[in-house]
Amino acid sequence: MLSTGCMQRQWGTTPVEKIADRAYTIPVLDEEDTDSDEEEGGSGQPALNQPHAIAPLPERYPASVYEPSDEECDSGPASPVPEDANIFLSEVVESLKRGLAEKSNAEYLILEINSSRYAYNMALCEVNYYVVKAILQIMLQQDGVATNTVGTLRRLLAYFGVVFRNYIRDRDAMMDCLKALEEMCPASETVRAKLPQLVHYLYEADLIGEQVIVEWYDGLADAGLQAALSKLVQWLQESSEEEEDDDDDDDDEEEED
């Protein structure tokens, strides 16, 4: 590293100011300024209002340290800031809690959620996911939820049902809903223990379709959750087969008539 003394020897009588560990400022003198100094007495001292430049110094590390690797360049744009998602979730929770306490028109909650969605540029799949997650978080804050989890969710959806159905409409949205349930399990033993009953309730309430449940179940990475849900999925598949058999019998009877 160049010392201040060395820098002064390099630049003569020009004052050098150290501004950081490895950065110095050096006055920039152009020809006109030099001539005017000489005309005014040739003192060699630069005017106080002259611009300064930062002198280049040797790099401490090779250039590769300061440049992104090929893998970093190929990795695409950076992920969205997670704080935006957390803020969006907190706003949805607050809107739903306030609506529940005031028993206001649930349609207004949809407007509030959509306003937050556009404010934080959230994709529709993210909105679906966080709306369900917000309802589940509120559910876990209710009295007696540990002993009556399904009943608590049923009571909340009596009010939030309009909001739930507004977002959870098709196959992809239903998958977002189940994903929210799945990802609540590590943080909540109540949700994990009651997951089969919660999914069954959503199915019976015609909020989640059978095929979506089976597809989601087949893709679960958590073997424990799969084991807990296996009886429910088996029952769904058997019920579907029985309905198909009944339909076939009805068709045969119509043909005989």
Residue for token pair 């087969």: 241
Helix-then-strand count for the chain, H and E: 12, 3
With CA atoms as reference, report the closest residue to 160 among 122, 204, 108.
108
pLDDT of residue 243: 72
Mean pLDDT of all residues in the chain? 79
Other C-beta atoms lying within 10 Å of the C-beta of residue 178: 24
Tens-digit pLDDT profile for residues 48-81? 455 555 445 444 444 443 344 444 334 343 344 5
Token couple for 24: 């110095």
The answer to whether residues 120 and 84 touch, using CB atoms and an 8 Å cutoff, is: yes
pLDDT of residue 67: 43
pLDDT of residue 62: 46
Q: At what angle do helices 124-140 and 171-184 cross, to 10 degrees?
A: 40
Residue for token pair 């959620």: 113
With CA atoms as reference, report the closest residue to 199 among 230, 243, 223.
230
61: three-class secondary structure by DSSP? coil
Tens-digit pLDDT profile for residues 172-217? 999 999 999 999 999 999 999 999 999 999 999 999 999 999 999 9
pLDDT at residue 235 is higher than 50? yes
Q: How far is CA 194 from the centre of its chain?
A: 26
In terms of pLDDT, which residue wins out, 255 or 222?
222
pLDDT of residue 224: 96
C-alpha to C-alpha distance for 157 and 127, rounded to whole angstroms: 17
Amino acid at 213: I
The answer to whether residues 126 and 134 touch, using CB atoms and an 8 Å cutoff, is: no
pLDDT of residue 242: 76
pLDDT at residue 233 is higher than 90? yes
pTM for the model = 0.66
Residue for token pair 């030099």: 34
Among the residue ranges 38-52, 67-81, 239-253, the one predicted with the least confidence is 67-81
pLDDT of residue 240: 79
pLDDT at residue 34 is higher than 50? no
The answer to whether residues 89 and 134 touch, using CB atoms and an 8 Å cutoff, is: yes
Phi and psi for 19 in degrees, rounded to 5?
-110, -10
